[in-house]
């Protein structure tokens, strides 16, 4: 993601974010849903964080940082990968 995303970049990320939430709900991936909601909360809070004590540049950097992490779900990704590995071990015990 660019350091200063354009409106087009932001819309693309928002669409991906909503799609990822939808897929997590469809798959009942509660960990991914939890992480995505936490990301949205952190992004929202970044707009208020600092109570006016940060410079405009610092505030925008904080907002951009949280925006760039909207799609991150490291715990859910790790859990899915571990589950995938276990499933492969069960299906291919000789490996």
What tens digit of pLDDT does each residue of 18-51 get?
Answer: 999 999 999 999 999 999 999 999 999 999 988 8
For helices 7-26 and 30-46, the axis angle rounded to 10 degrees is 150
pTM of the model: 0.85
For helices 74-91 and 30-46, the axis angle rounded to 10 degrees is 160
For residues 46 and 66, is the Cβ–Cβ distance under 8 A? yes
């Amino acid at each position: 993601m660019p350091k200063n995303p354009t409106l087009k970049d932001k819309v693309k990320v928002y669409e991906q974010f909503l799609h990822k939430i939808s897929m997590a709900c469809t798959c009942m991936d509660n960990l991914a849903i939890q992480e995505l909601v936490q990301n949205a909360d952190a992004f929202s809070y970044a707009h208020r964080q600092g109570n006016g004590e940060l410079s405009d540049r610092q505030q925008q950097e904080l907002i951009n940082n949280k925006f760039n992490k909207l799609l991150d779900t490291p715990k859910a990704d790790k859990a899915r990968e571990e589950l995938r590995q276990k499933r492969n071990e069960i299906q291919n015990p000789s490996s």
